[in-house]
Each structure stands twice: as C-alpha cells, then as structure tokens.
Amino acid sequence: YSSRCISQSSSPYKYFSAMALLHNPSTMVKYATPEFAAKFLKKVPEYRLRIANLPTPLHTVQNVARSGNTRNGNVNDNGNSILEKLKALNIKLLIKRDDQTGGVELGGNKIRKLEFLLADALNKGADAVVTIGGEQSNHCRATAAACRMVGLEPHLILRTKRANKVEEDRTVKGGESFGYVGNILFDRMVGAKIYTCTPGEYGRVGSKELVRRVCSDIESETNMKAYPIPVGGSNGCGTCK
C-alpha cells in the first residue's frame, strides 16, 4: 500500500492513511524528550515503540452528591462521601483512563514502560525477554503479550506459594491449580515460558539475581540473547529517570 489516503468513495476509513492502518508494533521511533521533562531526566532512552493506544482520555468526575450509599438497601450518606468533600474544597477530580492503553492483554500503565524497554531490547539485538512478578502479575501478562507483538520470546518468573500447583489440571478433584485462570491463562495463550519461585527464594536470592540466572540459562542453552526486565519494569529505561 502507498501512504496516500484511501479513496473516500471506496473505504469507510477515508480519514486514515494506509500507513496508519498497517502500523508495525516492532518499528522503533526516535524518542524526543518533552521540554518540561528534559532537565529532570538523567538518562534518556534513544528509542521507543508505539504499542499503546495513546493518548488515553482524561475524564472529569462530577462532584455530584449521591442520595446515599446503597449498602443493604439503606440510603444514608450524610454528606460524608469523598466527592462531597472535594466539592466543598472546590477541587476537580480527573481520572486518567490508562485502562484503555490496549486490550485486556495490554491494558494498564505497564505498557508505557514496555514501549521503552522492548525498544531497548530490540536495539540491543535481544531474542528473548525475562521478567519477574507475582503469580497473577499484570506486568508479566503485559510483557508476554507485548513481546509476542514485536517478535521477542517471553520468559516469566512467577512468585508463588503454590509453585507445585501451576501445572495441575483444574478438573482434578480437589485441585488447587491457578495455572489456567486470570493473567496466567493469558501468559499461556501467548506462549510464554513460565518459571516459578517461592517467596522464600525471592527473598533470599533477590528478583534481580533470579532474572539474571534465567537469562544466563537461556543464553547457555540456546543461541538466543536474553534481555532482563526488573519487577514492574521499573528501572532507568522503563521510567526514564
């Protein structure tokens, strides 16, 4: 397709270019630091990806008094709601809808960090990504899905007290499997390689060292280069500190 606008007579997408419709998530773009933030950043990422649906909307919450709460069918607010207090202080409440950054697999603020982290991984020639989090980690779910979108293999270390139950079939009588529900189900659906560690191992060894060990194993057993991402994607690259 060319970058020309699609003909108005032949397509309902007449206001969009073909290039916009055929966006490649793995395309790295030069990162330009916003002027207001430039003086605060010590290490500026060179590239970012365009995976999230940005900008997300900013919604105003109306400071309208409710007739009361409906718990147990009773209505008895007495003007003590947080909205009433904000109204009295003439404060406007705004909600940044980062739940709309993507679908259920990407939605949330984590994808903002991943746009920088995965761009760095691609720029450094990585083939796989390793990160760590709780057993139903939103960060791990978003990382796994985003990795598949840009051609990287996701490896997840999940911290849980039920490490021996992750593969247990939910249909087994009395089973306590958590490996086929919630975010772990999404992790499996995108083909993430799942490892587990106990809270004790997490405390003794540390999340950074656990990620390093898995990266080392991947590189020693395969020809892939592994890229480490810390808990929550919170490092200098992910948060642009």
Catalytic residues, which ones?
A: 137
- Strand 226-228 and strand 128-134: pairing? parallel
CA angle 40/41/44 to nearest 5° reads 160
Phi-psi region of 157 (alpha: psi -120 to 50; beta: other; left: phi over 0): beta
Describe the crossing of helices 138-149 and 182-189 by its angle, rounded to 10 degrees: 20
CA angle 144/149/150 to nearest 5° reads 100
Are the CB atoms for 227 and 130 separated by under 8 Å? yes
- Strand 128-134 and strand 153-159: pairing? parallel
Q: H helices of 11-130, where?
A: 18-21, 35-38, 82-88, 110-123
